[in-house]
């Protein structure tokens, strides 16, 4: 079985994916994860999760093409330039 | 703490670390390879620290104690000297040794000598991981006849790791009846062979500074 290991570097920090371990069961997975990601004071906490338990979502259809839902749908740069010109604080570049 | 007592533990840790390192690259899985190699390295690290303390008392160096003694001067227990066995025996030894070592370390942590007590506490922090690993494997294999045979076979040798007064404690912890122990004085043939290999490089240039 493959287990994914998530590591928290400091208390309160978000867990980040650290890597994976292959193990026959959860107990072995924990031991191997401790060995590889937790024995050198590099982690505050670990999450050891069977890979099968992770529901991976990778297909994000943009069916309606509503770009205004996204931050990059706005051309902020142009608007900022305009505003600066109005205020007389335009930059050279 | 007297040097001979420190040397017994140091020799156990060095020889066991050496033996366990024989599994590097051939353990049953890569994860286990990493884990067991790391344990082997820890044991050799503990040996180094213990030799340093003993060397200070005797007036020599840690390297001198680890590599320049005659095989007959080593005080290691026959349990740790056994040459690479199958995985069942290796895990049986690991489980029995770590359980015995915990009893021994608990006593050492109470030592009057602050250096010894401090080192024992430091070692114990790493040994916690070893124990976790050993107990996990013991749980995993305990119903396997091969493993049960290995435990039975190594049991008299495991008792020899500890001083006679600590042996009933070990028997209680692993749930076995005390039997006659194989004592440290009974050196195994395996040690001579191991010593040849272990000291080969150092002996190749006697007196060199490495």
Q: Containing H/E element for A18?
A: strand A16-22
**B72 Cα to chain A: minimum distance (Å):** 36
Task: Report the distance separating Cα B52 and Cα B177, nearest Å.
Answer: 37
**A5 Cα to chain B: minimum distance (Å):** 13
**B61 Cα to chain A: minimum distance (Å):** 28
CB contact under 8 A, B132 and A31: yes
CB contact under 8 A, B31 and A34: no
Q: Report B:33-52 residues touching A (Cβ under 8 A).
A: 34-35, 38
Residue A31, domain extent: 2-53
CB contact under 8 A, A27 and B133: no
* Interface probe, candidates A1, A19, A31, A36, chain B, greatest B C-beta count within 10 A: A31
Q: Would residue A28 count as lying in a domain?
A: yes
**Phi and psi angles of residue B11, each rounded to the nearest 5 degrees, phi first:** -65, -40
Q: Evaluate whether A23 touches A4 at the Cβ level (below 8 Å).
A: no
Number of domains in chain A: 1
| Owner of token pair 């028997």 | B171
The predicted model scores a pTM of 0.83
> Tens-of-pLDDT digits for all 210 residues of chain B?
688 999 999 999 999 999 999 999 999 999 999 999 999 999 999 999 999 999 999 999 999 999 999 999 999 999 999 987 899 999 999 999 999 999 999 999 999 999 999 999 999 999 999 999 999 999 999 999 999 999 999 999 999 999 999 999 999 999 999 999 999 987 778 899 999 999 999 999 988 888
How is chain B split into domains, by residue range?
Answer: 3-204
CATH number of this structure's domain B3-204? 1.20.1260.10
Q: Evaluate whether A8 touches A44 at the Cβ level (below 8 Å).
A: yes
Q: Evaluate whether A8 touches A46 at the Cβ level (below 8 Å).
A: yes
CATH of the domain at A42: 3.10.20
ipTM: 0.70
Could you tell me the CA-to-CA distances from B112 to B14, B37, B164 in Å, in that order?
Answer: 24, 33, 21
């Amino acid at each position: 079985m493959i287990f994914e290991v998530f590591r928290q570097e400091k208390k309160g920090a978000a867990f980040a994916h650290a890597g994976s371990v292959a193990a026959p069961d959860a107990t072995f997975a924990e031991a191997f994860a401790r060995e590889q990601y937790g024995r050198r004071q590099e982690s505050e906490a670990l999450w050891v999760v069977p890979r099968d338990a992770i529901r991976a979502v990778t297909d994000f259809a943009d069916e309606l093409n509503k770009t205004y839902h996204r931050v990059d749908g706005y051309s902020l740069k142009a608007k900022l330039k305009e505003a600066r010109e109005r205020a007389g604080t335009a930059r050279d570049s | 703490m007297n040097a001979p007592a420190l040397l017994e533990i140091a020799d156990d840790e060095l020889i066991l670390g050496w033996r366990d390192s024989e599994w590097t690259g051939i353990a049953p899985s890569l994860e286990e390879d990493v884990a067991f190699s790391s344990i082997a390295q820890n044991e050799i690290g503990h040996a180094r620290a213990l030799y340093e303390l003993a060397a200070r008392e005797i007036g020599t160096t840690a390297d001198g104690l680890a590599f320049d003694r005659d095989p007959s001067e080593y005080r290691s227990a026959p349990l740790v000297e056994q040459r690479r066995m199958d995985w069942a025996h290796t895990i049986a030894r690991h489980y029995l040794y770590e359980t015995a070592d915990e009893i021994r370390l608990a006593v050492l942590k109470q030592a009057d000598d602050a250096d010894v007590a401090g080192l024992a506490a430091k070692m114990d922090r790493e040994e916690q991981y070893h124990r976790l690993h050993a107990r996990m494997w013991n749980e995993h294999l305990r119903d396997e006849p091969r493993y049960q045979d290995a435990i039975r076979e190594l049991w008299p040798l495991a008792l020899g790791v500890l001083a006679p007064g600590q042996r009933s404690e070990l028997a209680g912890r692993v749930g076995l009846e005390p039997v006659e122990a194989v004592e440290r004085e009974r050196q195994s043939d395996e040690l001579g062979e191991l010593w040849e290999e272990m000291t080969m490089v150092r002996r190749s240039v006697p007196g060199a500074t490495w």
